[in-house]
A and B are shown apart, each in its own frame.
Chain A
Amino acid sequence: MPDRAAAALSLVRMMQASHTVTLDQLPDLIAEHAAEACLYDTALFVVDLRETVLRRLARTGGQAATGDQVFTVRGSLPGQAFQRVDLLAEPAPGGASGGRRRWWAAVTDGVERLGVLRADTDVEEETVRDILRDLASMTALLLLSKRSFSDAYAQMVRTETMNVAAEMQWNLTPPNAYAGHDVTLAAVMEPAYQIGGDAFDYAVNGTTLHLGIFDAMGHDTTAGITANVAVSACRNARRQGASLAQTSEEVEKVLLEQFSTSRYVTAILADLDMASGRLRWINRGHHLPILIRDNRWTTELECPPAGPMGADLALPVTVRTEQLQPGDRLLLYTDGVVEARDSRGREFGRERFVDFIRRHHAGRHALHETLRRLMAAVLDHHDGLLNDDATVLLAEWRGGHQEELTP
């Protein structure tokens, strides 16, 4: 009967051993430590960028695997474990009780959903399931620590060829979901492999959540470069203590230096004080943020536009303030979401957009899952093809969902 304390020690040893292993040696490392806790035939599956498939990370020198190399996120049990950030068991063969069961554990660091971990065990105790959760958590951390310099990982999480602008963007963005004490956040950007010009950013600094959504003019590689420069300049200024208005002015300075006035970026920059719920924002020529309250009442958060950054319009930057209530949701988005048109020229529209968020409220799905479904609806409306980038960032304050990214 595996012992929780012994399993914990085993995890520490695994962590120590991990310092010198490469990403493709990770499955073997996991298998070795899993066996100590009566968990066998382990396999690690990573999810692709658009969270449609789970692909197995092969063990070095292992036998050629059989059919279970890939699972779709929708319509499979491992996929369900992934979507619901849960630990699920396959039904016992023949309905018999006892004997070996196969378990699927979501692999997440509490912020990003990375994949699932498979493990078989004869032991029916809750302890073993707890041990499996711990193993999955450790696996998440190890995966994160090794993937940034792994081309193999990058290839594994792609289902299409990526263009250079998108390559830049994926390197730039923070994780597409965040759950902390007072805030849960999710973001989706499409078309994932051909993004050119849209960007989002967020960062937590003490009790402040910094948010930003950006839309660079054009759809080419230069638009990607422009967005990259804008986000980097924004972070740079912010990290030097600049206020919202000052940050946007610094970004404009850099853009003017680099592009003269031939390229600009529209944006909403916001700061949320997570302790008090006080939200401050500025508008650089972008669609206004939307506030959803009680899942019923929605409003645009007004703010006079100070012109796009890089357009050099010399307009004053106005900072607006709003006091949020617990459960409030903030939506930042780019025009590609609402302006996607169907074959008859009808826009997806802001009403449909907001309505969708309201109907698929986080009670049933994680925020990120909601956005995934929204984006699928937007793409569907446009017959699967977007001619502009579409990005959505959704943040919820004190909605009581901060545990949703922990299995």
Chain B
Amino acid sequence: MSTVPPAPDDDPDDAPIAVEVRGLATDRTLVTVKGQLDLHTAHRLGDALEPLLLADRQVLVDLSAVTFLDSTGLTALIHAHRTSRTTDARLALIAPSPPVRQMLHLTGVDRVVNTYPSLDAVPHRA
């Protein structure tokens, strides 16, 4: 299963995915994902998130610039959610793009993972 891939006239020079990690506070990190989150790239997100999902840490994943998400990409988000439940980290998704929102809604993942429309909307102790 997958969501729709980007149209062929998208810029071919961009790397398929870019994952940027930025500390906002000692216990708050913002991870911004741009591009395609799929079979080939999802592990990059997984690798970036793993060391961040520690007890009492808030990890916010900005998905506003994700152009494509497939089932492997969704699995990466589900795994991160599961890890956060085990370690007591606090994971939240920020402004998922339409393809991501669609996938989260269709599968019911949006009923378990906290999602916010913007960074400002995230409570500090969420």
Contact = CB atoms under 8 A, between A and B. Distances in A.
Given A217-B71, A262-B75, A311-B78, A305 B1 contact: no
Contacts of B107: 266, 285, 305, 307-308, 311
Contact of A217 (B1, B4, B9): B1
Given A217-B72, A341-B4, A261 B82 contact: yes
A305 B111 contact: yes
Contact of B1 (A314, A315, A341, A388): A388
Nearest to B4: A339
A313 B2 CA distance: 19
A315 B111 contact: yes
A216 B6 CA distance: 22
B109 interface: yes
A358 B71 CA distance: 31
Contacts of B6: 345
A56 interface: no
A317 to B, nearest CB: 10
Interface in B70-112: 71-72, 74-75, 78-79, 82, 105-109, 111-112
A112 to B, nearest CB: 28
Interface in B1-45: 1-9, 39
B124 to A, nearest CB: 26
B4 to A, nearest CB: 5
Contacts of B39: 218
Nearest to B70: A217
A368 B119 CA distance: 51
Given A197-B1, A218-B39, A345-B7, A313 B75 contact: no
Contacts of A344: 7
Nearest to B8: A345
A208 to B, nearest CB: 26
Contacts of B9: 345
Interface size class of A (residues with CB under 8 A): 20 to 34
A313 B104 CA distance: 12
A290 to B, nearest CB: 14
Of listed B1, B9, B109, B112, residue having the most chain A CB within 10 A: B1
A286 B111 CA distance: 14
Contact of B109 (A307, A339, A341): A307
A215 B2 CA distance: 10
A73 to B, nearest CB: 31
Nearest to A285: B107
A347 interface: yes
Nearest to A283: B108
A180 interface: no
A108 B76 CA distance: 47
A310 B87 CA distance: 21
A287 interface: yes
A7 interface: no
Contacts of A308: 107-108
A187 to B, nearest CB: 18
B4 A315 contact: no
B78 A261 contact: yes
A228 to B, nearest CB: 16
Contacts of B82: 261, 312
Interface string A274-295: 0000000001011100000000
Contact of A335 (B2, B7, B111): B2
Of listed A216, A305, A334, A339, residue having the most chain B CB within 10 A: A305
A218 B106 contact: no
A268 B83 CA distance: 28
A327 interface: no
A388 B2 CA distance: 8
Per CB-CB distance, the 8 closest pairs between chain A and chain B, nearest first, are A305-B108, A217-B71, A345-B7, A285-B107, A307-B108, A215-B1, A313-B112, A285-B108
Given A345-B4, A345-B8, 17 more contacts: A217-B71, A218-B39, A218-B72, A264-B78, A305-B105, A307-B109, A312-B82, A313-B108, A313-B109, A313-B111, A314-B112, A334-B1, A335-B2, A335-B3, A339-B3, A347-B4, A387-B5
Interface of A: 197, 215-218, 261-262, 264, 266, 283, 285-287, 304-308, 311-315, 334-335, 339, 341, 343-345, 347, 387-388
